[in-house]
Structure 1
């Protein structure tokens, strides 16, 4: 169970209710080679460093949201069926109020200790957390594949300055997927060409980066 589901029972508490999130030092990001937008070069090595248990740790989210000396690791899962990409409108029950009402092609969120089997870290714990997150937010009626295709960074706004996206490409053969979360409203599959065209300006910034990357092949 992800923290977002657990948190619904505690709406009267503070905004993050003591949530802890997985972070890496900004200094490590700079050491790996700071960038803006999508990065695919040297991906395997960068991912290995980021997911090394000695590189990341859990930090209080309330502190992390205002601390640009750390980057919160965010699995950002793009789900593709042929030439169509899953997209949705971020509802008010989502954890990041600054992104509400924007359309997104990314499913996922913060990694919490509860997601990793009691606070374990490392590549295996991370991948297990991502799969649990997907299964909680969506109901898959078909098999799916899951692979990391890029890193994603945007330091031009307050949200991006404290987050680092790990872009996963989830590929399926049928669009038999349904939302299990109120935060994922108006779930639909749309042709990549349309997302990269008429709908582009309606997408959140991270989604724009991903759509442009996929459209460029």
Structure 2
């Protein structure tokens, strides 16, 4: 059986600035294709929601364990939960039928977080609550992540999502990661083994706070 038969969202690689600076995605072409084909197609980049979970000014940190599928990431630390954007995440304007990309990305981030994280020990079946801890807000930040260091990077675009929660009392259902608690940006900046996407976000967020 062919691996990665699911259909996911992507965009032409030309949509993205090569240096990773933000370019508006509104109105850009969206590609829907089988993931297995996109994995070998650098002319398109798969849209990966890369969600940081933040409580106040502290970010949830985890370690990737050998149980995970991405062998190249084992042992690395991350502040981002990343997933493909699936067809079940699509949101359309009810009047025009136009794809609402922002709402689609937010739905993808919420669905995967609610599947993999547990807040205060109880998952509500309704999508609005995780136990007694509410996801207060999900929004895109003003960057995308573009690297070309290897063949995997060359076919993905990270869309950072800022997910705000009301408490640090969370745990994970995923046996492939070890949750390490919440850390400030200053604490994160001093860590070794941060994966490349997380290191980029920490650097950008620190630069932003320095300007405030």
Q: TM-score range by the shorter chain?
A: 0.7 to 0.9
The residue aligned with 1:177 is 170
Which runs of no fewer than 5 residues in structure 1 stay unpaired?
1-12
Pair 1:186–1:172, CA change in 2 (3 A): closer
User: SS at 2:133's partner residue?
Assistant: coil
Distance across 1 between alignment mates of 2:175 and 2:144 = 27
Aligned match for 1:101, one of 61, 71, 75:
75
The residue aligned with 1:126 is 105
Aligned match for 1:23, one of 3, 7, 10:
10
The answer on whether the counterparts of 1:74 and 1:166 sit within 8 Å (CA) in structure 2 is yes
Equivalent residue runs for 1:183-198 within 5 Å = 183-197=176-190
Pair 1:100–1:58, CA change in 2 (3 A): farther
What whole-Å deviation, never above 9, does each CA across 1:119-152 have from its counterpart, x for those lacking one?
Answer: x953233322221111112123422211111211
Pair 1:146-2:138 in alignment: yes
Q: CA deviation at 1:95?
A: 4.4
Structure 2 length normalisation: TM-score?
Answer: 0.77
Q: CA deviation at 1:106?
A: 0.4
User: SS at 1:153's partner residue?
Assistant: coil
RMSD: 2.3
Pair 1:14–1:88, CA change in 2 (3 A): farther
Structure 1 length normalisation: TM-score?
Answer: 0.76
Pair 1:162-2:155 in alignment: yes
Distance across 2 between alignment mates of 1:173 and 1:19 = 34
Provide the aligned length of Structure 1 versus Structure 2.
187
Give the helix-richer structure, 1 or 2.
1
Pair 1:57-2:48 in alignment: no
What whole-Å deviation, never above 9, does each CA across 1:182-217 have from its counterpart, x for those lacking one?
Answer: 2332342122212111x1x31110000001111122
Equivalent residue runs for 1:83-94 within 5 Å = 83-94=57-68
Instruction: Please say which of residues 129-138 and 204-213 is displaced more in the overlay.
Output: 129-138
